[in-house]
Amino acid sequence: MALRDTAIIGYAETKIVEKSEHDVWALGAQILETLLDKTGFEKGEIDGLILSSSMTGAGNCFWSQTTADYLGLEVDFSQTVDVGGSSPNGALARAAAAIDAGLATTVFLLFADTQSRENNSRLRSFANEWTQPQGLLGPPAAFGFLSKRYEHQFGLNYESLGKLAVAQRDNAVLNDNACEKLRKQITVADYMSSRMIADPVRLLDCVMVCDGASGLLVTSKSRAKAKGIDRWVSPIGYGERTNFKSSENVVDVTVSGHSVAGERAFKQAGLAAKDVGSFHPYDDFIIAIMLQLEMLGFCKHGQGSSFIQEHGFTWSGDLPLNTGGGQISAGQAGLAGGGTNLVEAVRQLFGEGGKRQVKNISNAVVTGIGGIPYARNWGTSTVMILTPDA
């Protein structure tokens, strides 16, 4: 099976900063150099390059080609995955498929964005025509509507959301790569009193746009063994759904494509939510974490608030969640932000989490969210399940 034959042999990450002094290619070079040093591979052995979406590179129609050029890579397979924050998960799945199909043997996955330094994005489609003219300006407003709808249907305990915010911040304090501005502990009271951005979304519900990069080096298990590598992390389940419920005129916005993607990923992995060692959900807003807990079967739909009150989510809790702080408390490196959570999951499974190392490294679940469509939940939902292997 393509996924299970894949070996993640190295991971790398820059420090996340408010505004980078280096351009996006310099950050990419740093990631590549670190991966080569850690794995013992030579640059010439890399014959595949897969990039995530990037606000910096969004206007470049030759994004993967120019990145290969800047990094001095000559490859047999290159691709840019453009499903927003779901792109890092999607890149790993596509790398596994490329290796299995014989299109590449060793693939460099790069998630780099300097959106704060240089934002070249140009949103089109429904945004210009439908949402912005009506005053729906940006993701906070969209998630504000979503939160209000959830509250209307099920009720919503905002102190439960505050508990998640506090847990992620506690984790970020232990993460040297997290943005320094965010490495300060908070309380539920701090969360509740933080200023309103788009009612009921508060400041401490939201990510802060930052700059940074991360990446993985992926090959086949057989090639890893031939290179003398004796441990790696393997993907064992993956699900992806784009345009969930697009054929329906009226949908329940509190339900996302993670319900479908998660079911597929867990079935492939032979696991259930109760078996999860650590959970690394895409976290552009706190409410998104709670919805994913419901969609993936950790609790029933509409019972997220009570589930959160009953469990611990710091690195030492019974359900460790975004142990590096997630994007909300480590900083969102633009559209490469999903790589932050993916690399943290890999780090934990290698047993290299340091002061925030989780006990259960049997598996980790990483999710992605990509895009915010008009009158829907989110555009793309991904679920990746990983396990340590040798």
Say what angle helices 24-39 and 63-71 make with each other, to 10 degrees: 60
* Residue-level pLDDT at 334: 93
The predicted structure's pLDDT at residue 14:
98
β-pair type (279-280, 364-370)? parallel
- Among residues 308, 340, 338, 310, which one has the least CA distance to residue 324? 340
Distances (CA, A) of 157 to 113, 290, 308, 376: 34, 11, 10, 23
pLDDT value, residue 207 = 96
Residue 355: count of CB within 10 angstroms of its CB: 10
Helices (H), 270-336: 286-295, 304-310, 326-330
For the chain, 390 residues long, give each residue's pLDDT as a single digit of tens: 578 999 999 999 999 999 999 999 999 999 999 999 999 999 999 999 999 988 888 778 889 999 999 999 999 999 999 999 999 999 999 999 999 999 999 999 999 999 878 877 776 666 667 777 777 778 898 899 899 999 999 999 999 999 999 999 999 999 999 999 999 999 999 999 999 999 999 999 999 999 999 999 999 999 999 999 999 999 999 999 999 988 888 889 999 999 999 999 999 999 999 999 999 999 999 999 999 999 999 999 999 999 999 999 999 999 999 999 999 999 999 999 999 999 999 999 999 999 999 999 999 999 999 988 777 788 999 999 999 987
Q: Which structure tokens are listed for 282?
A: 């895409």
Gyration radius (Cα) of the chain, Å: 19
- Count CA within 13 A, CB hemisphere, residue 389: 22
Statement: the pTM of the whole predicted model exceeds 0.85: yes
- What domains does the chain contain, in order, with CATH numbers? 6-120+210-229 (3.40.47.10), 136-207+233-389 (3.40.47.10)
Listed in sequence order, the residues at least 6 apart from 124 whose beta carbon sits closer than 8 Å to its beta carbon are: none
- Taking the C-alpha atoms of residue 256 and residue 245, their distance in angstroms, rounded to an integer, is 9
Q: What integer pLDDT is reported at residue 55 of this predicted model?
A: 86
Alpha-carbon distances, residue 86 vs 165, 282, 300, 360 (angstroms) = 21, 8, 24, 25
Quick one: pLDDT at residue 126? Answer: 67
**Residue of 278, 292, 298, 276 lying closest to 381 (CA atoms):** 292
φ/ψ (deg, to 5) at 71? -90, -5
DSSP result, 107-167:
EEEEEEE-TTT-------THIIIIIGGGT--SHHHHHHHHHHHHHHHH---HHHHHHHHHH
> Which residue from 235, 321, 233, 241 is spatially nearest to 282, judged by alpha carbons?
321
